[in-house]
Amino acid sequence: MNRQILKSSHFAVERGTIVRIKTLSPHEKLFEIALPGNARLNHDPGQFVGVSVFGVGEAPISVCSSPTKRDTFDLCIRDVGRVTHAIHALKEGGSLGIRGPFGRGFPVRLLEGNDLVLIAGGLGIVPLRSLVQYVINNRRDFGKVSILLGCRTPDEMLFGDEIEQWNKRIDVHFACTVDRAAPEWHGHVGVITTLIPGEMLVPERTFAVIVGPPVMYKYVIGELLKKQIPDRQIIVSLERHMKCGLGRCGHCQIENLYCCQDGPVFHYDEIKHIKEAI
Amino acid sequence: MAYAVLQKGRFDDFIVALAAQRKVMAPVSKGYGHFEFEEVRSATEIALRYIPTILPPKKYFMPQRETILQYTSDSIEAVVDFDPMAIFGVHTCDLAGIQCLNMVFSERPKDYNYLVRKNNIIIIGLECGDYCDQYASCAMMNSEMPNGGYDLFVTEFDEYLLFHVSTQTGEDIVKSTGLFETADASHKSRLAEYRKKKKSIFKKELPIDSKDIALLFDKCFESKVWDELNDRCLACGNCNNVCPTCYCFDVIDEPALDLTSGVRYRRWDSCQLETFARVAGGANFRENRGARQRHRYYRKFSYPVKKFFRYFCTGCGRCSRACMANIRLKDVLMDLIKAHPLDNA
Ligand SMILES: Cc1cc2nc3c(=O)[nH]c(=O)nc-3n(C[C@H](O)[C@H](O)[C@H](O)COP(=O)(O)OP(=O)(O)OC[C@H]3O[C@@H](n4cnc5c(N)ncnc54)[C@H](O)[C@@H]3O)c2cc1C
Ligand code: SF4
Ligand code: SF4
Ligand code: FES
């Protein structure tokens, strides 16, 4: 058997350095990563990378910072299993394997000039954060911007400090809701659909972006359609099991689509006839 | 069309000469009607008449386990392992299977592991004059006749083997061994006769035109046929493992004993296994066996038609032979045909 080094292999991995770690909650940590020579990752908001701990494995993780931040990028990781647990055990200055970016991100060019309703449920805030940051950094290029967040309880809300900043801005409409809360919570309680703006919404020029757990899509999309938003302008990011990011291993397949290459971001009109999608 | 004749008395010399140049893999009898591709050194080891091997020659293009990355504490390198070889005796259905995989792995982003191996493999096809067994549906899938994808292709006659020389690589083998005679008109007319007889034997196995199978699958996503398979399938994954056009894989790390170095490898995976599509949080997008069986069939008869303009079933029959629950591809298709008649039928 001959073994040859394959420089062009799409399985090749770069070594990223952990510049900073911030604990966001008992289960989530934010990792700021630098590539060798502070090279740019060059991603679109909504794309993901393969993150490796050698000897344990690789997991697909959304890049949760905007490409407008150049020298480093952020990954927010929930500790759920083998690889994510090993990542959580790493320290600042430690290293991670990075492969990618992969997939089709949010269509930022199409969104320009339009009103945006950005909706995140639970961990959906993680991939959406890259888009929110991008929009805020290029705020002039977009119309009205609403950010709607939902999660189970107030202490599950990630990026609290940052969200507080969004809330204070005069150029974004911000609202959040929780399923249940202690009496001292002053925000909304109830399902996220109640936050979708009503009369101020101009359907022809509104793009809605939804990222959340699988159960959330059906009823949020239903609500947006009721408000006459065209299905092309409803954008979702879907999560599937992924092993390669290359459209081959088959794990992420949604009927004839490969979530890792054709998505993870889809326009609703592309998937509404696909029964396995949502 | 270049043809060359190898007298049967020289077949062993040919295999020995070829094996002196590079490894030769060929179908070998394993008893009980089973065959496997294995390395051979002489013609006596080869089963010229064989039914599809347990595993298809896919295993040489995409090994069951292959290292894709090696790492130490200060280096990470993507790697490919390969062995230059010639595969002798590939049936037309398996040639079609390799053509499917070639399309999959040469699409961008390219899979260089596959492509490096492909470029180091010489393919010598072998014609079937009759059906392998009742599970084959190669005529329906248009893979009973040679359709390219080989360097040399062998048709067996009583006294000699007729080689179709399809590539320069094939020509070089014929020349370098010095064992062949040039074919004349009589050889070619015997081949024409052979093919004529073959056409009378191989008839589409089910009452549906090949081109209509994709239309059938446009109609049967919600079919009760999948519910019935839900109750029968054992989710063992055998059907995936033996299929020449299945290529799903898993990626796994294996640390060495020093724990600072190791390898990352990929190995065959199966969409029939329960965990295949499950994500963190517990959502499973094909939770029941019927949905997973449907997925497998759609990956043969529908999805690849949209992407590659061809079916990803060669009709080899392996999945039917390997299924412990007696799920037979021809029966499933027949059930679908009956349950969902096409308008023009
Ligand atoms: C496009 C995409 C973006 C993602 N972004 C983030 C992110 O920003 N932050 C974050 O914390 N998580 C993210 N995830 C989820 C993350 O990939 C999984 O939590 C992780 O792969 C689990 O690996 P593990 O080894 O820790 O868990 P395991 O021990 O392998 O298993 C835990 C559970 O995770 C499931 N799982 C295993 N491997 C995968 C996989 N490759 N893809 C999906 N599910 C898997 C298993 O079926 C099991 O239910 C994303 C997933 C996708 C597909
Ligand atoms: S689906 Fe069955 S008959 Fe078709 S190529 Fe695969 S193993 Fe052969
Ligand atoms: S071989 Fe048969 S029982 Fe096993 S997964 Fe395939 S269809 Fe199911
Ligand atoms: S992750 Fe492998 S095909 Fe999409």
Read off φ and ψ for residue B173, nearest 5 degrees: -65, -45
Phi-psi category of A192—alpha, beta or left, where left has phi over 0 and alpha has psi -120 to 50? alpha
pLDDT tens digits, residue range A119-131?
999 889 999 999 9
Q: What is the mean pLDDT of chain A?
A: 92
Q: Which CATH superfamily is domain A8-102 in?
A: Translation factors (2.40.30.10)
Q: How many residues does chain A have?
A: 278
pLDDT surpassing 80 at residue A92: yes
| A13, two tokens | 């991995």
What's the rounded Cα separation, in Å, for the pair A213 and B317? 40
- pLDDT at residue B219, rounded to an integer: 93
Confidence of residue A199 (pLDDT cuts 50, 70, 90): low
- pLDDT at residue B344, rounded to an integer: 59
- pLDDT at residue A70, rounded to an integer: 86
Give ligand 4 pocket residues (Cβ under 6 A). Answer: A 242-252, 258-260
- pLDDT at residue B129, rounded to an integer: 92
Cα-based distances in Å from B110 to A91, A206, B102: 35, 38, 10
| B55, two tokens | 């595993």
- pLDDT at residue A163, rounded to an integer: 87
CB contacts, 8 Å: A8 with chain B: 110, 112
pLDDT tens digits, residue range A131-168?
999 999 999 999 999 999 988 877 778 888 888 888 88
Q: How far is CA A245 from the centre of its chain?
A: 16
Question: Mean pLDDT by 10-residue block, N- to C-terminus, for chain B (345 residues)?
Answer: 91 96 96 95 96 97 97 93 97 97 96 97 96 94 95 96 96 94 94 95 92 94 92 92 96 92 95 84 83 94 94 96 95 94 71
Residues of chain A with CATH 3.40.50.80: 108-271
Cβ-based interface (< 8 Å): residues of A facing B: 1-15, 52, 54-58, 78, 80-81, 84, 97, 213-214, 239-241, 243-244, 246-251, 253-256, 275-276
Q: Can the peptide bond before residue B57 be classed as cis, meaning omega within 30 degrees of 0?
A: no
Ligand nearest to the CA of A251: 4
Which helix (H) or strand (E) segment holds residue B160: the answer is strand B160-165
Query: Which residue shows structure tokens 């899509």?
Result: A217
pLDDT tens digits, residue range B56-81?
999 999 999 999 999 998 899 999 99
CB contact under 8 A, B249 and A256: no
| B76, B286, B291: residue with CB nearest A97 | B76
What's the rounded Cα separation, in Å, for the pair B177 and B22? 13
Q: Please tell me the number of Cα atoms within 13 Å of B345 on its side-chain side.
A: 14
Q: How many residues does chain B have?
A: 345
Side chain identity at residue A161, one-letter code: D
- pLDDT at residue B284, rounded to an integer: 80
Q: Residue B139: CB within 6 Å of ligand 2?
A: no
The answer to whether B220 and B32 have CB atoms below 8 angstroms apart is no
- pLDDT at residue B73, rounded to an integer: 87
Angstroms from B163 CA to nearest CA on chain A: 29
CB contact under 8 A, B111 and A246: yes
What is the three-class DSSP state of B25?
A: strand
B302 alpha carbon – ligand 2 mean position (Å): 14
What's the rounded Cα separation, in Å, for the pair B291 and A203? 36
Ligand 4 closest atom vs CA A260 = 4
Ligand 4 closest atom vs CA A60 = 1
Averaged pLDDT for residues A102-107? 97
B226 alpha carbon – ligand 3 mean position (Å): 13
CB contacts, 8 Å: B252 with chain A: 57
What's the rounded Cα separation, in Å, for the pair B308 and B297? 16
Nearest CA to ligand 1 atom 27: A81
Pocket test for ligand 1, best of A33, A58, A84 (most atoms within 8 A of CB): A84
Residues 6+ apart with CB under 8 A from B323: B238, B239
| A4, A8, A81: residue with CB nearest B280 | A81
pLDDT surpassing 70 at residue A254: yes
CB contacts, 8 Å: A4 with chain B: 79-80, 82, 116
Residues of chain A with CATH 2.40.30.10: 8-102
The answer to whether A21 and A29 have CB atoms below 8 angstroms apart is yes
Ligand nearest to the CA of B246: 2
| B77, B83, B111: residue with CB nearest A5 | B77
| CB contacts < 8 A (A, B) | 140
In this prediction the ipTM stands at 0.91
Nearest CA to ligand 3 atom 2: B323
B221: exposed, middle or buried (Cβ count in 10 Å: 0-12, 13-18, 19+): middle
A250 alpha carbon – ligand 2 mean position (Å): 17
Pocket test for ligand 1, best of A76, A131, A242 (most atoms within 8 A of CB): A242
Query: Which residue shows structure tokens 């490409």?
Result: A67
Min mean pLDDT across A99-113, A167-181, B158-172 is at A167-181
Min mean pLDDT across A9-13, A50-54, A155-159 is at A155-159
The residue among B124, B122, B102 whose CA lies nearest residue B114 is B102
| A3, A80, A251: residue with CB nearest B276 | A251
At the top level of CATH, which class does the domain A108-271 belong to? alpha beta
Cα-based distances in Å from A147 to A222, A228, A235: 18, 19, 14
The answer to whether A48 and A237 have CB atoms below 8 angstroms apart is no
Q: Which residues of B246-268 are buried (b: 16+ CB within 10 A; e: fewer)?
A: bbbbbbebeeeeeeebbbbbbeb
